[in-house]
């Protein structure tokens, strides 16, 4: 093959070869950068969902707060306080009867 033959082949098939190489290079870059692109999309999705997530967390915290703080009778704390008071009353009654039995 002479130089002239090479130039003729390059001139004839050069654009197609260059396009093929460019497409292969582009595919390689996409494959190589896919994990990074995927992470960026996940972070973007998380940021987009952030207001809804914060609203859900805030609602759950309010619900928990209502249950652990006294509110006049319906909270878990009020139920614990009632139970403690009833146990104290029962303990006092049992203590009285123990004294009567032991004497």
98 vs 84, residue with greater confidence: 84
My answer on whether 15 and 48 are in the same domain is yes
- pLDDT tens-place string over residues 85-95: 999 999 988 98
Q: What is the pTM of this model?
A: 0.47
> Can you give the residue range of the structural domain that contains 96?
72-103
Please report, rounded to a whole number, the percentage of residues in the chain having pLDDT higher than 90. 49
DSSP tag of 25: H
pLDDT value at 103 more than 70: no
Query: Count of domains in the chain?
Result: 2
Cα three-residue angle 28-34-35, rounded to 5 degrees:
135
My answer on whether 18 and 6 are in the same domain is yes
Tokens linked to 17: 């070869």
My answer on whether 82 and 58 are in the same domain is no
């Amino acid at each position: 093959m002479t130089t002239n033959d090479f130039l003729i082949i390059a001139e004839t098939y050069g654009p197609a070869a260059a396009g093929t190489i460019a497409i292969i290079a582009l595919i390689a870059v996409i494959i190589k950068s896919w994990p990074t692109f995927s992470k960026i999309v996940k972070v973007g999705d998380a940021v987009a969902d952030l207001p809804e997530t914060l609203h859900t967390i805030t609602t759950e915290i309010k619900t928990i707060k209502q249950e652990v703080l006294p509110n006049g009778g319906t909270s878990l704390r009020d139920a614990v306080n009632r139970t403690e008071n009833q146990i104290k009353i029962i303990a006092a009654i049992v203590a009285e009867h123990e004294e009567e039995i032991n004497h």
